[in-house]
Amino acid sequence: MNDRIDRQDSVVNRIIDGSITIDSVEEFQDLLKVFPNDPRLHRVFADRLIEEKRVNAAEEYKTSANLFLEAGMPLQAVVCKIFEWRIIKPSK
């Protein structure tokens, strides 16, 4: 069981560092169903959505920011919020 988890974590790390690329938004959504609480994957997915000029990237940045906060990583959360706000400006 531990070996399987290690392999899954290795795949996630390779996607995040760019050594494995996922070209399809649908494939990425399937991957997020397997790893729904990984803030790094949501961040990479949001970056991918930005490349395709999709507005729903803001929602992925928001999700990623919340997950980073839950993981005790506030700096990464702030970065994701800034990216979110670049897409959809916060209200005054």
Query: Mean pLDDT in the chain?
Result: 84
* In contact, 69 and 77? CB cutoff 8 Å: yes
The CB density around residue 84, as the number of other CB atoms within 10 Å, is 21
Minimal CA–CA distance to 18: which of 35, 52, 41?
41
What is the spatial distance between Cα 59 and Cα 32, in angstroms, rounded to a whole number? Answer: 14
Contact 79, 67 (CB under 8 A): no
Q: Write the pLDDT tens digit of every residue in 58-75.
A: 999 999 999 999 999 999
pLDDT at 26: 84
2-13: average pLDDT: 60
Model confidence, pTM: 0.81
pLDDT for 15 beyond 60: yes
